[in-house]
Amino acid sequence: MALVLPSLLLASLVGNVFYRNFGILALKATVDVRVFNVANMTILSETHAFILPVLPGHESVIFPMYSFLIEHKSSQKRLMFDLGIQKDPENTPPAFASVFSSGFAQLEPYRDITVLLQNEGINLTSIDAVVWSHVHFDHVGDMSTFPNSTKLIIGLDTDLATFLESPTAPLQESDFIGHDINRVNFANMTLTVSGLKAVDYFSDRSFYLVDTPGHLLGHLTALACVTPTSFVVLGRDTFHHTRQARPWPQFQKNFPCPTHLLIDSKSTISTDFFWSPGSCIGAFDLPSRAEVLLSVSDLPDSFYADPVKVALFNADPDFFVITAHNISLRSVILYFPVYLNSWKASQLKEKAVWSFIDAVNPAFVFSLIEVAVSHWEPPGGSDSMQCGVATAFGG
């Protein structure tokens, strides 16, 4: 899916030139953003459902679950964007509880978001609304633990069927009963952000809900203005790993890979599975790779995603994209009570965006783990594997 970018807005608008490419007007109002790592889940032998290729030894995947506290400065209203998983996954609908009872999905010890909030002095009655990006169990938490005064915000096409109505449904009635449910209808919206329909939630350009169906009908992402010229993009399940959106040429131009990782990647990224015009056997050349390293899985049991929808934000210096399960950020990002507002001034993005090719980072999946494989040759034969010789496969 290609994105059509709006025309550059008038140069008289204040602020950094970059964000104008996305159709966002000059900004004054901002929100505060803080993040919780609610839980970390390992799904056994299921990497193939999210990314391709899967190298031997990386068949299982680790997913963090992030939840965001959004605080609107002028109104003092608080939102939660996604809740992570509830405290007792064995009590989720049967189709999902079975993945935990069988051991197929394994959780590190954790506390659910309501406990984390209250332990930090955040009263649940102060939460005006919860936004579900979509209705999978690792995002909806347990709304029954919030007071009925907390509204629920969902996409228009979100399916609220319970497992009593459909055996494979991810919801039960307690997930929403007693709460006012507000469906975001983008049908008649004229506002767009990077060609995607959007809603200005607080009507002051500080926080946008963005229509990004693909992973699931009604899927929402969010765009939070944290300073007049910088944004946090809550990308949720538009892609499942940063390597599905990197490297792109524009991304590499704006965020060059740190020298030490560039040097290490020559030997740590397997040329049996990855290639570029400047690569040779045993020496991968990252700068000449113009395509993303991994693709969205197209297998029958794939959890579909659409990285193109937020990849352009990802390459822009004014936008910091955090997807729902980005394991490369788990040891880099700053958690509550720290605010994400200063991510740009602190150069957090520069520190984080290439961590996925660091061989010690849990997101690294570019070399084999103690498994022998047959030798592979790129198209063009052995002559095409001389360092610096481009092949049709590269690029």
- Rounded CA-CA distance 307/219 in Å is 13
Tens of pLDDT, residues 254-306:
899 999 999 999 999 999 999 999 999 999 999 999 888 877 655 444 344 45
**312: which 2 tokens?**
């352009």
Q: What is the mean pLDDT of residues 186-190?
A: 87
Confidence check: pLDDT of 121 > 60: yes
Q: Longest C-alpha distance within the chain, in Å?
A: 68
The answer to whether residues 105 and 42 touch, using CB atoms and an 8 Å cutoff, is yes
Distance, in Å, from the CA atom of 244 to the CA atom of 53, rounded to the nearest integer, reads 11
| Confidence band of 248 (pLDDT split at 50, 70, 90) | low
Buried b (16+ CB within 10 A) or exposed e, 225-244: bbbebbbbbbbbbbbbbbbb
Is residue 40 over pLDDT 60?
A: yes
Tens digits of residue pLDDT in 212-225: 876 667 889 999 99
| Contact predicate 42/100, CB 8 Å | no
Average pLDDT, the chain: 82
Return the exposure string of 352-366: e unless at least 16 CB atoms fall within 10 Å of the residue's CB, then b. Answer: bbbbbbbeebbbbbb
pLDDT at 388: 46
Residue 176 has pLDDT above 50, yes or no: yes
Q: Of 10-24, 115-129, 200-214, 364-378, which gets the smallest average pLDDT?
A: 10-24
Quick one: what percent of the chain has pLDDT higher than 70? 79
Question: Which ranges of 64-207 would DSSP assign to H, the alpha helix?
Answer: 94-101, 113-119, 137-140
Given this model, what pLDDT does residue 370 score?
Answer: 55
- Single-letter amino acid code for the residue at 390: A
Average the pLDDT over each of 3-17, 106-120, 285-299, 341-355 and give the range with the smallest value.
3-17
Least confident of 16-20, 106-110, 129-133, 350-354: 16-20
Per-domain boundaries in the chain: 30-246+318-353
- Whole-number pLDDT of residue 373: 41
Q: Are 199 and 185 in contact (CB under 8 A)?
A: no
Query: In whole angstroms, how far apart are CA 84 and each of 2, 168, 236, 270, 391?
Result: 30, 20, 11, 34, 44
What's residue 363's pLDDT? 87
pLDDT at 245: 52
pLDDT for residue 309? 64
Mean pLDDT calculated for residue range 168-175: 90
**Distance of alpha carbon 33 from alpha carbon 35, whole angstroms:** 7
Name the more confident of 231 and 6: 231
Region of 304 on the Ramachandran plot (φ > 0 left; ψ -120 to 50 alpha; else beta): beta
At the topology level of CATH, where does 30-246+318-353 sit?
Metallo-beta-lactamase; Chain A (3.60.15)
* pLDDT band for position 193 (cuts 50, 70, 90): confident
**Helix (H), strand (E) at residue 36:** strand 31-43
